[in-house]
Structure 1
Amino acid sequence: MSILQRYFATSIAQAVSFVLLALLGLMAFMDLTGELPSVGKHGYTLQHAVLYVAMMVPEQIYRVLPVATLIGTIYTMAQLASSSEFTIMRAASMSTRMAIGMLFKIGVVIVAIAFVFGELIVPRTSPLAEKVRLTAQGAAISAEFRSGLWTKDIIKSEGLTGTVLGSRFFNVREVRPDGQLLDVKLYEFDNSFRLRALIQAKRATFQGKSVWRLEEVTESRFSNPALLVAGATATAQNHFAQETSLVEVVKLASRDLVSEITPKILSVSRRDPERMSANELAVYTRHLQENKQETKVFKVAFWKKLFDPLAIFVLMALALPFAYLHARSGGVSLKVFVGIMIGVSFLLVNTLFSHVGMLSTWPPFLTAAAPSVIYLMLAIGALWWVERH
């Protein structure tokens, strides 16, 4: 690493770290203020609130790191411009391409940090923080859903393999922090979407290998003699068959249920897609596709997980033109303010494209990539302008 590269890296790292700490302090204070109304209710103490806010810090780091990188890089470039150091570097044969190359190498490290937080740390700390909060309040994880948690899987002849016999809808009233399901209802339909069984259980515990242990089970099976009629007659009579269905009710102390629904799928189904890793989003999207459910929200979130860290390169490129502006073009504070406005505008445009893309027919890839492409064009245009003037 050259002396100039090391100088750039040290200066930018110090500035980005300072801005990141300032933003994290501000956001932590706002989060703690938002938790204060819940303190003292249902056993939720100030210590629980502080612990919850502390465990949400990794998520805040992931969210504000691109903006902190932009502001920190702009501050460094503005300082180099105000002290004429960047002018001296250019006089010593440093081209714009060389400057971009040095920023790119620094950006690789920051992007790698963002990926580590987004893929490894945040998907673990955010659910754990919610679990701590709900456990302290004595609440169920699915308490925010009025009708409970809903999900769907496919019924197959061999459990997880074989011929598709129909579909099964899960309704769980409460999901406890330890993963146990309370007040479970299973609605089983055949391939013609006729209700064939209603299974109710007080509790359900995952046993591993795609097996749930249901306890205190009441199973109602709907059989239909008209469906046994062969040939075209059966097809004609199916429209009237529901009126002649027979109901068989069986009560069991416990029974095992084989299902592709796992605690991991249940956990991601109730989580904000932005808090999930790309791997979790890919797994859950595949599950939704197999069950013929809407996947666009999760596809957009998947591509955003890939493009948002890479946007750091774009924002650093936007900061480089500030090094070409001399002191007479504005002080460091003005340039930092402009940098903050650019960062805020990027966040707004990114959020806007996410919502518009989900409401329209835009491909998820384009929805996630468009903000970075737009700001990359702005960076290229700004570099072209400062070099010409």
Structure 2
Amino acid sequence: MKVLQRYFASEILRAVGFVMLALLALFTFFDLMGELQHANRGGYKLMHAVFYVLLGLPGYMYEFMPIAVLIGTIYVLAQFASNSEFTIMRSAGMATGTALAMLLKIGMVFVVMTFLFGEFVAPASSRYAESMKLSAIGANQKKEFRTGLWTKDLVRENGLSGEVTGSRFLNVKEITPDRKLKGVRVYEFDKRFQLSREVTAARAEYAGNNVWRLSEVTETTFPKTLSAEDIAQVRSQYYPSREVVSEVTPDILAVLFADPDRMSAYDLAAFTRHLAENKQDSERYEIAFWKKMIYPFATLVMMMLALPFAYLHVRSGGVSLKIFSGIMIGMVFYLINSLFSHLGLLNTWPPVMTAMVPSILFMSLALAGLRYVERH
């Protein structure tokens, strides 16, 4: 069985690699055509467009890995069936469970690869690509709202520790490619949700250790009550520079512009925790987190789906028909996986179940297929 295991592994790895190259080439062409309209805009040249598209390839490798595994495995097993190799293997004593176990062992290689690309390679390349593009064009990140980007954190007695004394709302007009802020407004409220301080600054730069250094600062403090007698106690003062300690970091701000599906599970967990601490809706990021954790194991489900094709004889359909069937199944899985993310968000389904249901459905389909070919 060790010889068969190596034979299966070498053939499947070669086929999956070929399918992945074909998918990457196809989507690289489409993306490059889309990026050409931005070429020669500011400092964004053709070279930048090509580099931007290439940096997006790790993200595609992560997204299309289950589909490539399914098509590649179906191709190999269909070839085995058409050449009667699989029939000989079964005659030599290879049971369905043994074949499935061999495929799942090979599938674990793809699980690890998918996880590494989704957790480390794709998020880093995506961030660098966006930063490079914005720097070349000379544009800054802006939120869709006219008022800019909004986020929230807690105000504590000793900066990041101690008792919570209130809450703080941060408004930013623009974020530059080097992660500096422009047009900053900070509104601080006490525990009774009364405005206690307003800070405006022309610019802000992150100094590390959760410290923001504000420039051209105007700070306005308000009394605990705003009766007619207390209005005179409102004070406004100008500072050339001022420091603010906040839980909000450049990484958290970058998340607000990022696609959750392109973020790492670590970043999603950290941002979800930040939103939960500040009593904000985190369901979208929770669903993305659980998808990120479960999605690599979809390659094992695809391996299970491919196995029944080895039991179909040539008269049941040629190799090309089986590959076409694999492409259709892969596309349906990809669409259902995306659909359930939106359905879970709209219907407030549990994030774990929202992420697991597509894989469970296709695993049930695979088991039903294996049971059918075993009986027939």
- Is TM > 0.5 for Structure 1 vs Structure 2? yes
Alignment of 1:262-341 (within 5 A): 262-341=249-328
The answer to whether the 8 A contact 2:194-2:224 is kept is no
The Cα offsets for residues 53-98 of structure 1, whole Å up to 9 and x where unpaired, read as 0111111111111100100001111111111100000000000011
| Percent of pairs with identical residues | 54
Q: CA deviation at 1:163?
A: 2.0
- Contact between 1:357 and 1:367, CA under 8 Å: does it hold in 2? yes
Q: How does 1:87-106 map to 2 (within 5 A)?
A: 87-106=87-106
In terms of mean alpha carbon deviation, does 177-186 or 98-107 score higher? 177-186
Q: Distance in 1 between matches of 2:95 and 2:146?
A: 61
Query: Is the deviation greater in 15-24 or in 355-364?
Result: 355-364
1:144 Cα offset (Å)? 5.1
Q: Answer yes or no: is the 8 Å Cα contact 2:58–2:122 preserved in 1.
A: yes
Question: What's 1:238 paired with?
Answer: none
> What do you get for the CA RMSD once the two structures are aligned?
1.4
Mapped to 2, the partners of 1:143 and 1:366 lie a distance apart of 31
Q: CA deviation at 1:194?
A: 1.8
Alignment match, 1:229: none
Question: SS in structure 2 opposite 1:47?
Answer: helix
Please state whether the residue corresponding to 1:87 is helix, strand or coil. Answer: helix
Q: TM-score, normalised by structure 1?
A: 0.94
CA distance in 2, matches of 1:98, 1:141: 54
The within-5 A match list for 1:1-389 is 2-142=2-142, 145-225=145-225, 241=227, 245=231, 246-389=233-376
User: For residues 289 and 143 of structure 1, what CA distance do their matches in structure 2 show?
Assistant: 22
Distance 1:369 1:143, change over 3 A: closer
1:197 Cα deviation (Å)?
1.7
Q: Partners in 1 of 2:348 and 2:183 — Cα distance?
A: 38
Structure 1 residue runs of 5 or longer lacking an equivalent are 227-240
Q: State the 4+ residue runs in structure 1 displaced beyond 6 angstroms.
A: none
Tell me, in whole angstroms, the C-alpha distance in 1 between the residues paired with 2:305 and 2:320.
17
SS in 2 for 1:162: strand
Amino acid at match of 1:272: D
- Alignment correspondent of 1:233: none
TM-score (norm 2): 0.97
Whether the aligned pair in 2 keeps the contact of 1:149 and 1:270 (CA below 8 Å) is: no
Closer/same/farther in 2, CA of residues 254 and 2 from structure 1, 3 Å limit: same
Task: In structure 2, list runs of 5 or more residues that go unmatched.
Answer: none
Instruction: Return the letter of the residue paired with 1:162.
Output: G
Q: What is the alpha-carbon distance in structure 2 between the residues aligned to residue 355 and residue 224 of structure 1?
A: 44
Letter in 1 for 2:108: V
Q: Following the alignment from structure 1 to structure 2, what is the Cα–Cα distance between the partners of residues 209 and 335?
A: 56
The C-alpha deviation readout for 1:105-149, integer Å capped at 9, x for no partner, is 100001100011011111111010000111111000236553222
Q: Secondary structure at the match of 1:223?
A: coil
